[in-house]
Structure 1
Amino acid sequence: MTVSAVVVTYNRLPMLKEVIAALQASETPVDNIIVVDNKSNADTQEYLTSLGDQIRYVRLEENIGGAGGFNKGIRYFMEETVDDYVWLMDDDTVPTPTALTELVGSAAKVDNKFGFLSSDVRWTDNSRAKMNLPFPIDRFKKIPLDATEMEQLRNATFVSVMFSREVVDKIGLPVKEFFIWGDDIEYTERAARVYPGYMVPTSRVIHKMAQNVESNVSLDSIDRVPRYFYAFRNRMYFSRNRGFVRFLRAHIRIAYEAAMIFFNGQPKKMLRLKMVLKGVTTGWFFKPKVEFAKNKAKG
């Protein structure tokens, strides 16, 4: 089985170099490394161009965010390759040498009938990355750090997750209008409606975030607060598609997060609240279309 890896990058060249090197050192060879560049600065462009045919370089004319980047990367996989699987990751995700081997082996165990397969995402100290914690079907189950068996999940992030060509052909592409935040949760839940999605705990990657913290509008640094508009808008969109109960539950959860703004001692409380309210109200009417790519494997 053949694999395309899609890496979306934006102005993190030192980390991107490490990610590409790790992909090239994979125990199971990556057949195509597709790097989608959200119009990074000249140093990134020069480096990626210098790699020649070691990678497939997709440079975008503008920064369309992680969601847009993965949309373009999966489209490239579908329309420009005939590989069987697409393996997605950010430009700060460093796969271990056996990460892909374990994913491909697990695909065979379920006879390729999977919506998605995700890795066990660790931070630099080997604890679980809090931005990428697994969400089992059993809400009360906690997957131990030494787990070895596949575990069915509700969803996963785009920090080392693999899809088959068959599933992408059925469900289309990630919603590029999401820009950032939630595109991966919506997309993996869409895939899980075709076949079950699983975590493969023996497939390990390191997510080299600056800090191992969860996103929180009431606590995050003020320069990041405007990004939360996308978080709440996008959450409204995909909670609508989950049914009334989960749509209502999303509102209750967001109301709690908004209230916490006034209990946590961070500045610019009204700006934080504004991003929540603007995101929620916009999300009520946000109706992007799901795009589909041509399947080169079908001729």
Structure 2
Amino acid sequence: MSEKSSVVEPAYDPKAFDPASATIVVVTYNRSHLLAKLLVSITAMDPKPGHVVIVDNASGDDTTEVVESFRESIGTRIVYRRLEENTGGSGGFSEGMRAAYELGSTWIWLMDDDVEVLPDGLARMGVWAPRFKSIQGRRYDYDGSEFYWQYRLSIPLGIPIPFAPAGFDATGYREMNSGCFEGMFIHRDIVQKVGLPDPRFFIYWDDSVYGWLASLHTTSAIVDEFVLRRTREIRQWDMGVRHLNASSNAYRYYIMRNRGIMKHYFAEHGAYRPARFAVGTALTFVKELIRLVAVERTVRGTSNLFRGIRDGARIANDRSWRTMPPLSEVAADRA
């Protein structure tokens, strides 16, 4: 994406950022072999976070045993939350962020189980902590290539801008208005204002919406720092400067259904534009059709897209539906 030599990076200052104030939150489901690789990488980190929160979405494999095997060797405190049912990535990150917040963490670093952290990853994120409160680092893909993440949303359309500039200038960052739970590094002050991630998404659009909400309260930034590496190979279509990954029937359903949830969040903040949002929904549908044909070489699975559109319309038209409240309101209700 950029020539690192052209970037003027601030230096890591342990006095300006306390690594022990950070908590890594990992959501896992039936992938103990990948979770083990991530925990090995956390063991090798320098500096290490104060806590690692692991949210297990009711895995049926040996995830519990794997977690227990790292308690003595990882070099930081593990908090293990095994849920009674699979709540999807959305539910897992919501519970994980809740746990990290209740631990008193100043910084919460979210990630899936199919990545590993680079040894100096936390230090690299800590460089930017004095300046920003919602930060996204960069990631290497499975083959070692530089992964491009679509960090800008077109809010009227409700979709990522696929060709937002990829390069960085001498500042070493670009402002973003989105988010990705595979690497989101967020300050507790913003979590308090935004609230917890909405578990009702189950999967897809949850992090995009959360990142957008964060950007309403602070300047959010993607920084030119490689801090993660994907450890799972995903079938994809190489389009040159971009890649289109393989998907699943569940993703196809939720990517359309959750448009109804997005509508409520945009409307809550005065950003919902019905005609343009409908265009964004149509473009999303077309993109998923292209993904089916170009990446998965099939046309089977379109029924999940149509089911998602149907159920999303029901959610969008539900006048009783409410967005997640800020944590300050939740605390006031409990008082």
RMSD after superposition: 3.1
The 3 A distance-change label for structure 1 pair 146 and 52 is: same
Q: Which residue of 2 aligns with 1:203?
A: 226
1:127-206 maps to which residues of 2 (within 5 A)? 127-129=145-147, 132-135=149-152, 141-144=164-167, 149-206=172-229
Tell me by how many angstroms 1:99 deviates. Answer: 1.7
Supply the AA of the counterpart residue of 2:138. D
Gaps of 5+ in 1: none
The 3 A distance-change label for structure 1 pair 41 and 269 is: closer
Q: Which residue of 1 aligns with 2:324?
A: 290
1:238 aligns with 2:262: yes
1:77-92 maps to which residues of 2 (within 5 A)? 77-79=100-102, 81-92=103-114
Q: Which residue of 2 aligns with 1:267?
A: 299
1:272-283 maps to which residues of 2 (within 5 A)? 272-283=304-315
Supply the AA of the counterpart residue of 1:82. G
* Range that drifts further, 137-146 or 8-17: 137-146
Which residue of the other structure, out of 136, 148, 167, is the alignment partner of 1:118?
A: 136
Q: How far apart, CA to CA, are the structure 1 residues paired with 2:271 and 2:192?
A: 28
1:63 aligns with 2:86: yes
Tell me by how many angstroms 1:291 deviates. Answer: 4.8
Q: How far apart, CA to CA, are the structure 1 residues paired with 2:264 and 2:51?
A: 36
Q: Deviations over 1:184-218 (max 9, x none)?
A: 1111111111101101111331123422638xxx9
Tell me by how many angstroms 1:246 deviates. Answer: 4.8
The 3 A distance-change label for structure 1 pair 198 and 78 is: same
Tell me by how many angstroms 1:66 deviates. Answer: 0.6
- Give the number of equivalent residue pairs: 284
Q: Deviations over 1:28-59 (max 9, x none)?
A: 21110110101112411122133346411111
Supply the AA of the counterpart residue of 2:152. F
The 3 A distance-change label for structure 1 pair 210 and 146 is: farther
Tell me by how many angstroms 1:276 deviates. Answer: 4.2
1:32 aligns with 2:51: yes
Supply the AA of the counterpart residue of 1:102. R
Q: Match of 1:241, SS?
A: helix
8 Å CA contact 1:99, 1:203 repeated in 2: yes
Q: Which residue of 2 aligns with 1:252?
A: 279
8 Å CA contact 1:228, 1:275 repeated in 2: no
1:204-219 maps to which residues of 2 (within 5 A)? 204-211=227-234, 213=236
Gaps of 5+ in 2: 1-17, 155-159, 238-243
Q: Match of 2:66, SS?
A: helix
Q: Match of 1:162, SS?
A: strand
Q: How far apart, CA to CA, are the structure 2 residues paired with 1:285 and 1:186?
A: 19
The 3 A distance-change label for structure 1 pair 100 and 203 is: farther
* Range that drifts further, 97-106 or 132-141: 132-141
Tell me by how many angstroms 1:179 deviates. Answer: 0.8
1:227 aligns with 2:246: no
Q: Deviations over 1:216-263 (max 9, x none)?
A: xx9956xx2243222122233224433466543332132244457499
The 3 A distance-change label for structure 1 pair 256 and 78 is: closer
Q: Match of 2:228, SS?
A: strand
8 Å CA contact 1:177, 1:288 repeated in 2: no
Supply the AA of the counterpart residue of 1:73. G
Q: How far apart, CA to CA, are the structure 1 residues paired with 2:234 and 2:245?
A: 13
* Range that drifts further, 66-75 or 22-31: 22-31
The 3 A distance-change label for structure 1 pair 121 and 283 is: farther
Supply the AA of the counterpart residue of 1:290. M
1:101 aligns with 2:127: no
8 Å CA contact 1:28, 1:98 repeated in 2: yes
